[in-house]
Amino acid sequence: MTNATKQIVKADISKKVKVGIKEKEVILNYGIIKTDRREKGKLEVQLKNEILPYFDKTNAHILAGVKHNGIVYEGFAQRIKKTSKRFDVSAFKVAYPKIYMKFLVEMPTLEIKVDYKVVSNDQ
């Protein structure tokens, strides 16, 4: 982040904008969704590791008439093995540090961090 960008961000923070209840709910919902997505990503990894052995004998399973939370589903699950290629940035950086630095550019990013906790639950 350049100094000019840092100054703009500081100037924006110094402006005090009051938001109403509706806006605060939208901000909180954003934070909750972000947290849920992160937690579901971790759960997905755990579940994938748990179900991989189910595919040892066959690469596909029919999911006919499976009931979950009162809803009946049908479909299939299959294990798909494939090889992909990606650019190894770390190796390139070691082998060609000057070229790496030449093409390294600063990019502005914007993140919204929402920190919250449940203080009461009426359910």
Q: What is the mean pLDDT of each run of 10 residues along the chain (123 residues)?
A: 50 65 92 95 94 87 82 89 95 97 94 87 76
Q: What is the pLDDT of residue 14?
A: 52
- What backbone phi and psi angles, to 5 degrees, belong to 74? -145, 155
- Is the separation of the CB atoms in 76 and 55 below 8 Å? no
Alpha helices in the chain (DSSP H): 3-14, 21-51, 89-95, 97-103
Spacing of C-alpha 82 from chain mean position: 23
pLDDT at 5: 47
The pTM score is: 0.60
Residue 56's pLDDT is 87
Tell me which DSSP letter residue 114 carries.
Answer: -
